Structure 1
Amino acid sequence: MTLLRGSVMQASAGEISEHYQHLLKQAKKRTQIKTGSLSLTLSLPLGLVLELENCYYVPRMIKNIISFNLLVDHGFYFKYDYKLISCFKNDIFYFKATPTNGLYVLNLQENNKEIYHISKRSKEIEDQTYLWHCRLGHINKKRIEKLQKGGLLGLLILDHLTTTSLMTKQPFNKDNERASELLGIIHTDVCGGYRYFITFTDDFSRYGYVYLIRHKSEAFEKFKEFQSEVQNQLDTKIKFLRSDRGGEYLSQEFDNHMMECGIVSQLTPPYTP
């Protein structure tokens, strides 16, 4: 990822104008590119922050360049509209960019017109509402209101939350069977973006384990590690494993292991606790 001083420009499919290619070649010859642990923070108009790691510094360049491909590698994705692209991660909007001379330009400056401030403030509140909705485990409107009354959250548009949160909800049985003994049912989920963590929660005691992982593919190994520890410590076996329909739980390797151990897989509807 390359970040250079000045306004920010987004490279389109790795294409950089001849002028910037020439400057980069000159910088390499003169060893003007400084690499290493250079990390920079990009403040976006909606209040979100983009952390840029492993950046190059080229003194002679006055434009910042960010690689599309590296953003995609870090979990971001793009939606293309007429002469605009929008950048998202985990369904949260980050920024828009417009094409200019083969590059996509990010406008990070705020407009001082009063009508823009009103519109921008409303949009910012909507995005903050959904952001907190995601951060708090997709909690419902009543719980958000309770946090607001307690002074823990600022102004949020709850009508927007109601519409947004219900779009992905699927009906599920409210009378789920509860465990009557330790390890009767284990709840599990994988969370995170570039770096993840996986949780295992005992339904009977509500005691939970958290393991840090870098890739979702590590979920199976962490489950075996968890299974070995708790079954040895408690001298009993896991009967059910309840998870969402994430691909990390549906691999053939995971399925074979569950069958060998006599563990029954229980799958909940997607996008529900």
Structure 2
Amino acid sequence: MNNMNSHIRVNQSHDLSGLNSEANNKTCPDGSPEEIRGVIFDLDGTLYQMKWYFRPVLALMLMPSSLRLQHYMSIRKKHMGDDRKSAAALLDAMASELARKTGEGDTMKMLVWIRSKFYPAFERAMNLVRGSRPGLNPMLRTLRERGIRLGVLSDFSRVAQRLRGLGIAPDQFDTLASTEDAGCLKPCPRPLLALAREWGVPCEKIMVIGDRQDTDGEAASLAHMHFLRISDLRVIPEGAYSWTTLKEHLLTLPGANGSAKHKPSVTNDHS
């Protein structure tokens, strides 16, 4: 794999030499930690560690309709990058496909299941992985004190509720957003670009943190933002970093010293 010019100057003790890798972000603009003014976190698999038992327990919570979960996740994967412009249009498309795939043929019934069964169970399941990112809350406080804007962009809705389930205070972030609520799924870059406009921060001064290159990384690339990938595998893949290493690197970001703290806002997040 060919290397690109270094995009971010790194403290070598953090073992982040892989920032040069094409696997990391093919179009990541040149930049340095001193230039980063905003950090956008993915949620699932990023702000918590995805445990092997998470999906099976979630399926049990959805009994007796747990088979729908497998179909629904498969459908969401099929719609990666889809941009329907509105949450209603996107959910209707996925619910319609779910109705066909399950043989139930009732789109409205599937919409009700997604909203009244899937999401409440998903929220409760956050307790299974609560506290799986040690040092996260202190790190967020430090970054905010340095004037760095913080956001969460999840492919799923109910971001604030799920953060609370993880023991992460939503008001530690300037913006909470969901691609689903915006009518699209990653790697569609539209929500990232909207967030940059809301903050008034150039895209090249924003870093995206996520666990998937094909969604988080590609969206960051399309938005011309920096990207760092987190991995919880025993053997960390090339171009990815452990939580400990990633956290240490983020704590090297000096931010805009003396910047006023910003009042958090919630974007496209349903109660």
TM-score, shorter chain, exceeding 0.5 = no
Bigger relative CO (Cα 8 Å, ≥ 6 apart): 2
For normalisation by structure 1, the TM-score amounts to 0.30
For normalisation by structure 2, the TM-score amounts to 0.30
Say which one has the larger Rg. Answer: 1
Structure with bigger helix share is 2
